[in-house]
Structure 1
Amino acid sequence: MDRAKPLPSLLVQRYHGWKATAFAENRAWYKRLADEGQRPKTMVISCCDSRVHVTGIFGADQGEFFIHRNIANLIPPYLPDGQQHGTSAALEYAVTALKVAHVVIMGHSGCGGVQGCLDMCSGRAPELEEKSSFVGRWMDLLRPGYDRIKDLDGYDAQRNALEREAVLVSLENLMTFPFVEERVASGDLSVHGLWHDIGNGTVEQYLPSSKVFEPI
């Protein structure tokens, strides 16, 4: 493959800085991680958005979180059709191999994927309707959420509600996986839905008893 390029110098410098400080100061911990393997208790499914930093929010060290990121923190329904399903594969590995105790779905404010879904479903983004759009076909997963919020008054209200619907749709789809449902039923696994406001740092959690998101 002759198209790969050397890393930008800024990233090289940052790597050497990390190796000389954070790694050097915690060499024994990294050696233990390498020798003993990973034993995370929590899987986090969050958005690819560069502003969402779940390990920073929860103060997690290496080895604590098994993290999967995708556009708009979506989980597809259980569909063993022989196709490639990166999110489903990550979920299967976390639940059946790593035996995580918690699966956390974390949405966030200002989500570009959610906005794309809103625009697509309301006819403002015809390019996402094209069969060739990977983003559009991925955001089809959120159409049930759009149907629940489409009658709200105002674009901003719809977008804010749809960001939370992305969490709810993912929770619903999560429970279609037999290995998830089995471990939830046995009490060995709990699932959680969160929404993070990037601008003010708040995190809300979904409470099934009241069917609302409330600050934690």
Structure 2
Amino acid sequence: MYRVRPLPNYLVQRYHGWKATGYADNKSFYKRLATEGQHPRAMVIACCDSRVNVIPMFGADQGELFIHRNIANLVPPYAPDGDHHGTSAAVEYAVRVLKVSNLIVMGHSHCGGIKGCIDMCKGKAPDLEAKGSFVGRWMDILRPRYDRVADIADEDAQQHAMEKQAIVTSLENLMTFPWIEEAVSAGTLTLHGLWNDIGEGELEHYNPQTDSFHPV
């Protein structure tokens, strides 16, 4: 552990600035969060992309959203095989322990993970094809969907279409979890699919009746 180093100065300075202002001005709120626990109404499964920030987008305060981020906002199918499943664990905790009433999968434009998946499907990403590529094997979750966008000639349109396929894939995979299917059937949990255009600040929602996305 000798390789571990202190935080970069710019992060230390920002922390102290927050502690002196944001925390100091709302100390009782933070004390309450610590003692009363968290009671979020919604879980958001978003991408790790640093350009995607659901907190300001929805005007949320701390404690309002239970957020899980991974590459390309993917949810794997239900697989209780005893292996490590970070996303499945987060979903389990949100639904079975925190009892969230809304579960949102939010994708976005210009997603690097999606671009990598497309490149793999086109035979242009040998590094991702390697068995030892964590990103490549993670994107295998989405890979079967490429057939649905393969005929789209425009690269940007194909990218956006695949990003939306990732959202639909995750929504479908969520329903393979028995306790999610049970909660949805009981009306205590609602699933939502969203796609964010980073550059335009637009948000679209998925309509399962038409199998298409529409502006929020």
Work out whether the TM-score is over 0.5. Answer: yes
Counterpart Cα distance in 2 of 1:183 and 1:66: 18
Counterpart Cα distance in 2 of 1:54 and 1:155: 27
How far did residue 160 of structure 1 move? 1.2
- Ranges in structure 1 where 5+ consecutive residues have no aligned partner: none
Deviations 1:172-211 (Å, cap 9, x if unpaired)?
A: 1010000100000000000000000010101000011221
Residues 1:22 and 2:16 aligned together: no
Which residue of structure 2 aligns with residue 95 of structure 1?
95
Tell me if the contact between 1:48 and 1:71 (Cα under 8 Å) persists in the aligned partners: yes
**Within 5 A, what are the aligned runs for 1:37-186?**
37-186=37-186
Deviations 1:88-141 (Å, cap 9, x if unpaired)?
A: 000000000000000000000000000000001111111111001000000000
Which letter does structure 2 place at the counterpart of 1:171?
L
TM normalised by structure 1 equals 0.99
How far did residue 156 of structure 1 move? 2.0
Counterpart Cα distance in 2 of 1:139 and 1:118: 9
Secondary structure at the counterpart of residue 32 of structure 1? helix
TM normalised by structure 2 equals 0.99
Which residue of structure 1 aligns with residue 206 of structure 2?
206
- RMSD across aligned positions (CA): 0.7
Deviations 1:2-59 (Å, cap 9, x if unpaired)?
A: 1110001110000000000000000010000000000001000000000000011000
Secondary structure at the counterpart of residue 191 of structure 2? strand
Which letter does structure 1 place at the counterpart of 2:146?
Y
Which letter does structure 1 place at the counterpart of 2:32?
R
Which residue of structure 1 aligns with residue 10 of structure 2?
10
Which residue of structure 2 aligns with residue 35 of structure 1?
35
Tell me if the contact between 1:44 and 1:67 (Cα under 8 Å) persists in the aligned partners: yes
Counterpart Cα distance in 2 of 1:60 and 1:22: 15
How far did residue 158 of structure 1 move? 1.4
Deviations 1:136-186 (Å, cap 9, x if unpaired)?
A: 000000112212111222322211100100100000101000010000000
Counterpart Cα distance in 1 of 2:62 and 2:145: 34
Counterpart Cα distance in 2 of 1:71 and 1:123: 20
Tell me if the contact between 1:144 and 1:169 (Cα under 8 Å) persists in the aligned partners: no
Which letter does structure 2 place at the counterpart of 1:178?
P
- Ranges in structure 2 where 5+ consecutive residues have no aligned partner: none
Counterpart Cα distance in 2 of 1:95 and 1:35: 21
Counterpart Cα distance in 2 of 1:66 and 1:85: 17
Count of residue pairs brought into register by the alignment? 216
Secondary structure at the counterpart of residue 152 of structure 2? coil
Percent identity, aligned pairs only, is 64
